[in-house]
Amino acid sequence: MSTSRLLLSALLGAGLAAAGHSDPLKERALKARAGTALIPDTCFDSQDDLETYFEYNYPWGDTHNGAALMSSAQVSIIHDAYLQLRSDYTGPQADNADLSYNSGTVYAKQHFTVEADGGLDMQANFVAPVAEGTWPAFWLDGVNSWPPEIDLAEWKGTGKVSFNTFNTSSEVAALDVDYPTPSTAWHTILVELRPESDGTTLKADFYMNEELVTTQYGDGMVGQPFYMIIDYQMLGSSGSSGPTETTYFDVQYLSVTSYNP
């Protein structure tokens, strides 16, 4: 537990006791391994750093379930400090009238696997739009199949942030919670991915601004490789009408730490 989380617990009293880990002894043993930075939080310090760890677009191409055509032209590093994905309205595009935005997506070059007796922490700060038609997301997608999918954080145009784990297309743990001051404050999302003792079930603890929001369980997800994707999709799950002005999805201090053996 970080000092600030301890402080917050002390300030707010026993109500936050539930924000601790469900198995603190196991967690202490894991953390004693001194995690390996699979992606360091300096990954958005320059275009070179970005391109060391990430590729442009999706693993499968430049579109996915929405109205945005992705390209590297919409992806920037701002002030040598954060990643910015920019969405521009184009109107129906000549090659495909279902597409009406140019936007940006990156995915990690590495695949991420939670191993039995291991774990992964995935963390980043976000300024994410929540207006109708905007659909930014930070998510894990099975390399070998879909599902599995874990939405580390997804914003579906309702003013809320969603945390979701897909066992199958219909067996889904999903939680929407309020997302205050979306355009003016960085919010920290941390997801701790841990194996359960059965060796196959993956436990995901979702934290926002250092408070545990929810815990979800993924079937057979231990030992499975995942892509990590940061996309700024439009329309699709976030509604059928969206902004005609330029909008942005910003991501800062992304890190992935491994406690795998």
Ligand X SMILES: *[C@@H]1O[C@H](CO)[C@@H](O)[C@H](O)[C@H]1NC(C)=O
Q: Which residues bind ligand X (CB under 6 A)?
A: 167, 171-173, 201, 217, 219
- In the chain, alpha helices (H): 3-12, 24-31, 47-53
Q: What angle do CA 44, 49, 52 make, to 5 degrees?
A: 125
Judge contact between 217 and 201, C-beta under 8 A: yes
Radius of gyration, CA atoms only, the chain: 18
Residue 56 has which token pair? 């442009």
User: What is the closest distance, in whole angstroms, from the C-beta atom of residue 115 to ligand X in the complex?
Assistant: 17
Beta carbon of residue 205, minimum distance to ligand X (angstroms, whole number): 14
Report how far apart, in Å, the C-alpha atoms of 192 and of each of 49, 235, 241 are: 24, 29, 34
Q: Please, what is the minimum distance in Å from the beta carbon of residue 223 to ligand X?
A: 14
Cβ-based nearer residue to ligand X, 23 or 88: 23
- The token pair that represents 34 in the structure block: 């001194």
For the record, the structure tokens of 127 come out as 């300024």
Instruction: Kindly tell me which of 55 and 219 has the beta carbon lying closer to ligand X.
Output: 219
Looking at residue 229, its amino acid is I
Nearest CB to ligand X, comparing residues 139 and 232? 139
Q: Which is nearer to ligand X, 90 or 214 (CB)?
A: 214
Catalytic residue ranges: 149, 154
CB of 71 to ligand X, least distance (A): 35
